[in-house]
């Protein structure tokens, strides 16, 4: 699961769950989250697979944005990532 958080870098409050905006049902479906990278978002930034304005809007309205891997990238018969110990 790749997660963008609108409160970075002010998310260092002790005991605060950085995933608190992501509904529990979604967190359970994706397994254990793994930090990948930090991106500064602006209207002029180009993203590879999605419009940056869509991402920014999602962060403002829901508090999170989820981008799924391209079709065929995930083997549907694999165990969920959290169970593989990734």
Contact, 33 vs 1, CB < 8 A?
yes
- Write down the pLDDT at residue 31: 75
31 or 42, which is more confident? Answer: 42
* Residue 80, domain member (yes or no): no
* Residue 75, domain member (yes or no): no
* Residue 52, domain member (yes or no): yes
Task: Show Cβ contacts of residue 1 under 8 Å, excluding neighbours closer than 6 positions.
Answer: 27, 30, 31, 33, 34, 66
d(CA 3, CA 19): 8
Whether the model pTM is above 0.75: no
* Residue 78, domain member (yes or no): no
Give the domain range for residue 7. 1-70
- Min mean pLDDT across 15-19, 48-52, 79-83 is at 79-83
* Residue 51, domain member (yes or no): yes
* Residue 48, domain member (yes or no): yes
Q: How many domains does the chain have?
A: 1
* Residue 2, domain member (yes or no): yes
Q: What is the chain's mean pLDDT, rounded? A: 74
């Amino acid at each position: 699961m790749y997660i963008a958080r609108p409160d970075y870098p002010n998310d260092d409050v002790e005991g605060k769950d950085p995933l608190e905006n992501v509904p529990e049902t979604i967190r359970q479906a994706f397994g254990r989250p793994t930090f990948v990278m930090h991106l500064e978002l602006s209207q002029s930034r180009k993203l590879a697979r999605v419009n940056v304005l869509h991402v920014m809007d999602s962060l403002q309205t829901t508090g999170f944005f989820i981008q799924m891997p391209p079709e065929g990238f995930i083997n549907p018969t694999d165990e969920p990532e959290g169970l593989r110990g990734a």
